[in-house]
């Protein structure tokens, strides 16, 4: 009798586990669908972009020794530069990781754009864009962005546009996929995005965290140099 009760309890726990597992999976797929549903109407080609204040460029890997952009990041910045030169955006906002003095995404992006003809006074830098949620929250609350074109790779675009619009920005999204990624990279990116979209939904509707850093307002319509971290120029003694 005790053995039968033990077996019955084990079966009950097994089915509870099965229901919880598949229920959680269903919720996760629902979150991913919601992010896609909310973002897709605003994902357009470069030719269809409506004029906006700024292109928000999401950071990615840079090479420490040279400051060179990884291929993925170079595609993003190139697309943003083209939008600027076509008159689709008035400013560029380079947002990425510069939490460590030895690793600097944003100044590498800025230097690359300047070399390709974008005036430095039109390039804003967000040194605390440690993740997409922080980037979009800071774009709205620190840089006072009202409307923007979000530039990133296709696998990342739905979540980026979703977070931008959830932060109160009238955002469009343009994919920066100028080169083919390897299959293994696509698999990794898609798996990572599946979980990241779930986190995005939780952050927007439930957790609502503040960015890691905020700081004083630097309006995107104002002086871009206020966002730069260049060392002060030494005045020569007379």
Mean pLDDT of the chain, nearest integer: 91
Return the CATH superfamily for domain 38-225.
HUPs (3.40.50.620)
Res. 235 pLDDT band, cuts 50 70 90: very low
Quick: pLDDT tens for 109-146. Answer: 999 999 999 999 999 999 999 999 999 999 999 999 99
The residues, any chain, with a CB within 8 Å of residue 44's CB and separated by 6 or more, are 172, 173, 174
- Taking only the tens place, the pLDDT of each residue in 191-216 is 999 999 999 999 999 999 999 999 99
Check residues 218 and 17 and name the one with the higher pLDDT.
218
Q: 13 or 182: whose pLDDT is higher?
A: 13
Q: Could you tell me the pTM of the whole model?
A: 0.91
Characterize 26-43 residue by residue with b for buried, 16 or more Cβ atoms within 10 angstroms of its Cβ, and e for exposed: eeeeebbebbbebbeebb
183-202 and 132-141 helices, crossing angle to 10°: 50
Amino acid 6: pLDDT: 57
């Amino acid at each position: 009798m005790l053995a039968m009760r033990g077996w019955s309890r084990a079966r009950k726990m097994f089915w509870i586990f099965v229901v919880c597992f598949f229920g959680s999976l269903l919720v996760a797929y629902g979150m991913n669908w919601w992010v896609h549903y909310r973002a897709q109407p605003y994902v357009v080609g470069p030719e269809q972009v409506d004029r906006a204040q700024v292109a928000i460029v999401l950071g990615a890997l840079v090479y420490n020794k040279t400051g060179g952009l990884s291929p993925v990041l170079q595609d993003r910045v190139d697309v943003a530069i083209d939008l600027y030169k076509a008159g689709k955006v008035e400013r560029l906002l380079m947002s990425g990781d510069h939490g460590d003095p030895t690793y600097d995404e944003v100044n590498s992006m800025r230097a690359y754009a300047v070399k390709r003809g974008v005036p430095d006074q039109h390039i804003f830098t967000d040194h605390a864009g440690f993740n997409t949620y922080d980037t979009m929250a800071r774009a709205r609350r620190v840089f006072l962005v009202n409307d923007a074109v979000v530039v990133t790779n296709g696998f990342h675009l739905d979540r980026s546009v979703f977070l931008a619009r959830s932060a109160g920005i009238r955002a469009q999204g343009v994919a920066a996929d100028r080169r083919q990624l390897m299959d293994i990279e696509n698999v990794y990116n898609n798996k990572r995005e599946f979980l990241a979209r779930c986190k995005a939904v939780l952050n927007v509707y439930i957790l609502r965290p503040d960015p890691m850093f905020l700081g004083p307002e630097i309006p995107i319509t104002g002086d871009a140099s206020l966002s730069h971290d260049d060392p002060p120029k030494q005045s020569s003694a007379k």
